[in-house]
Amino acid sequence: MGADTQRLRRYRQQSLRLLDSALDQMRGGRWSQCEELLWASLTLAVKGVALSRAEVLEGEQGVRDYATRLGREQRDRRLREAFDQLTNFADAADRLRESRSRADQLFMVLEDVRGAVHRLWEMVPREEEDER
């Protein structure tokens, strides 16, 4: 098993574990922790797609730009907008705390980002991991 294969498997495992942890944090009302976990999960998923396609990403902006590009290619709004939604997550959480309203908006963001992460991992064929 090559180094890229191992890294790809590690990215997938970590990304999905972080996504599950984000959901647990959200259920507990720990929105800051949830946001950080979502960022990490999404970033690893984008990097996983890039690695499976032998593309190199440079820095955080490179990851964001690549996700937007994938969203356009796949015609998937969740991929195009995932990082933008996370950028606004903290503000939405602050408004929620101030108004004591329901967390519906934050859960919608969580669901969109969760969908984006799963869609990204669907773009990485499992046999790709086995062959590399």
Q: What is the DSSP string of 62-123?
A: HHHHHHHHHHHHHT-HHHHHHHHHHHTHHHHHHHHHHHT--SHHHHHHHHHHHHHHHHHHHT
Q: CB-based burial of residue 76 (10 Å sphere; 0-12 exposed, 13-18 middle, 19+ buried)?
A: middle
The CA distance from 67 to 116, in Å, is 9
pLDDT tens track for 65-122: 999 999 999 999 999 999 998 888 888 777 777 676 667 778 888 899 999 999 999 9
CA neighbours within 13 Å on the CB side: how many for 43?
A: 15
Which residues lie below 8 Å from residue 60, measured CB to CB, with a gap of 6+?
43
Q: Can you give the pTM of this predicted structure?
A: 0.87
Q: Are 35 and 10 in contact (CB under 8 A)?
A: no
Please report, as a single letter, which amino acid is at residue 58: E
Question: What is the mean pLDDT of the segment spanning 14-42?
Answer: 93
Place domain 3-125 in its CATH homologous superfamily: Nucleotidyltransferases  domain 2 (1.20.120.330)
The CA distance from 74 to 26, in Å, is 28
**Amino acid 19: pLDDT:** 96
Domain ranges of the chain: 3-125
